[in-house]
Chains A and B, each alone.
Chain A
Amino acid sequence: MRVEGIPASPGYAEGPLFDLDQSTASYKAKASAEEEQAALVSAIGKAVGRLAALVETADGEAAGILEFHIAMLEDDALSGPALAAIGSGQPADAAWCAALDGEIAGYEASDQDYFRARAADLRDIRDQVLRALSEEGEITAPPGAILYGEDIAPTRFLETDWSEGGGIALKSGSTASHVAMLARSRGVPMVVGLDAPAAPITGDALLDAEHGAIIFSPSPAETEAFRQSASSFADRLGAAKTFLTAPAVTKAGTAVRVQVNIAYPSDVEGIQIETCDGVGLMRTEFLFGKTLPDEETQYHAYRKVLEWAGGKPVTIRTVDAGGDKPVPGFTVEETNPFLGLRGIRLSLARLDIFRVQIRALLRAAIHGNLRVMFPMIATPDEYAQAAALFAEERAALVAQGVAHKLPPLGIMVEVPSVVLAPEGFADVAFFSIGSNDLTQYVMAAARDNAAVAHLNSVRQPAVLRLIAAVAAFGREKGIPVSLCGDAGGDPATIPALLEAGLRDLSVAPAQLAMAKAAIADAAV
């Protein structure tokens, strides 16, 4: 049975299905109190190990919380009472729950909001260990499995061993999700938005994440066709790798710049700078994960990428929170967030937060070839306000004698108003087309809604016409134009983008080779 979905990370996987949504297996009692105690100690160790791995990728504030959880778990005062209760005959899971529930009740009884809120941390700690306890040797996905379910947590993705292949098939999920980005950068095949079949799902399946489909209980003919497609994909990928190290040039000899999109400063560790023309989009939302980052955290993150890039350009986008990227304490709850206070609108409404980012960017600018762009610009006035803030913060840094540099300031072109009335933007330093949002606003088709995915395509004539209009305006006024949406890395869309006049694309690192190969094959 074939079920269609949306490709989130291209590739093919064939293997046993692993049900992500199966209710967590219950804890199996052990033969003796000693074994029960050993199981609890091992589960606590496993939970600590997981948290320690997460600390590696977390920023200041989030890392602080994780370290607190680790310190609590490593404290004998927490496990002591549980181990004693096991010694007097209780099973490990019940003993652990009882010990933690006692602590939780203590926090809930506090008259301080702050300490009451820590009850949630204690519950989290309790559940992490319970999960590790009940998982003992049975719940981890077998190597090469296709993880199938409603949605998947980033931690689950990071814990899974992808060395022997495998893939992800989700009923909901989004191509713009954190896991989708991770999957693309690691080359793990992933499909989202699959219709849920009525029958329970077991056995082997075929995941076609190039076209977006999963085949349950495949027939021999389906398996045969699938393997041909998979092998053709592998051939194309292998052939594409030969294009990786050379500059991108079309069949007709037209040079095309190909840059990379990154979401985390650590993304650059897996990329050879020689294989790309710079960073066309560095997102900064990661810094705003759960909390607001301070100036130093941001400065070091930006500086790391600028130094990695050497003299090549690095385009950093100011925080694009809101829409489908909420940040507690920053974004507001809205009934229609994609049309609400997001991107530059939110930054201009929260100058306290925006100014911190601006200072970090001005200071980092001395470490490389920085360009800064603003997301969700709809009117020239928004650009003028944002540029004025850069001038103000720059003056403050001059007064304080802090080393800094004013980078070129450009805008994302993703709200159709900019394309329809570009004359007001003749003084911006550069345009970067955000094709994901531009498409969803032009086609009135949400990018995270699988039901309207057929409308959400850059290859719709209306979208391509707008892209061509931006490219033409840029040529006329001498303003550089690039494109940093997902379309830039899609081999099927690249010819149309070059036809529209673009000569500068920014793509996910895993798509670099395929994008260059597609460019080499283009006639433009």
Chain B
Amino acid sequence: MSASAEATVLITHAVGLHARPSVKFTKLAKTFAAEVEVAVAANGPWFDAKSIVKVMAAKAPKGTMLHIRAKGDGATQAVKALVDLVQRDFDEDADHARSA
């Protein structure tokens, strides 16, 4: 069975898709069999969402509309899970609020 999915999400985290969020993002992407890609513009270029080197190279700062697309097994779930992670600010806001 082959599926595909695509979504766009606004990066609200203070410094964008930076080191630690990228670690979380790529680790989550790797849990899906589907081929997952990200881009900072609708027409690409597209980067492998499972490669931290590629995701960091996208250099997506706060306010970027991040495009996520997936193809293959679990594509829909993969896109949804990654969008959720970005919307939760990579589960980092709680840590930051405490030390602020």
- Enumerate chain A interface residues (CB-CB to B < 8 A): 60, 64-65, 67-68, 71-72, 75-78, 103, 106-107, 110, 112, 114-115, 118, 121, 292-296, 352-353, 356
Contact = CB atoms under 8 A, between A and B. Distances in A.
A414 B83 CA distance: 54
B71 interface: no
B51 A114 contact: no
23 contacts: A60-B95, A68-B22, A68-B52, A71-B22, A71-B23, A75-B26, A75-B51, A76-B51, A77-B51, A77-B53, A107-B59, A112-B59, A114-B15, A114-B61, A115-B18, A115-B56, A115-B59, A115-B61, A118-B18, A292-B99, A296-B95, A352-B100, A356-B98
A292 B100 CA distance: 10
Nearest to A68: B19
Nearest to A114: B15
A294 B19 contact: no
Contacts of B57: 103, 106
Contact of A114 (B16, B96, B99): B16
A301 to B, nearest CB: 14
Given A103-B53, A110-B59, A356-B99, A64 B19 contact: yes
Size range of the chain B interface in the assembly: 20 to 34
B18 A114 contact: yes
B91 to A, nearest CB: 12
Contacts of B20: 64-65, 67-68
Contacts, number: 65
Contacts of A296: 95, 98
A405 B51 CA distance: 47
A71 B52 CA distance: 7
B52 A75 contact: yes
A75 B16 contact: no
B23 A68 contact: yes
B15 A118 contact: no
Given A112-B16, A295-B98, A356-B99, A75 B59 contact: no
Contacts of B100: 352
Contacts of B99: 292-295, 353, 356
B95 A294 contact: yes
A409 to B, nearest CB: 23
Nearest to A74: B52
A99 B98 CA distance: 39
A76 B99 CA distance: 35
B48 interface: yes
Interface centre among B22, B26, B53 (most CB of A within 10 A): B53
A445 to B, nearest CB: 37
Contacts of A72: 52-53, 56
Nearest to A78: B53
Contacts of A64: 19-20, 23
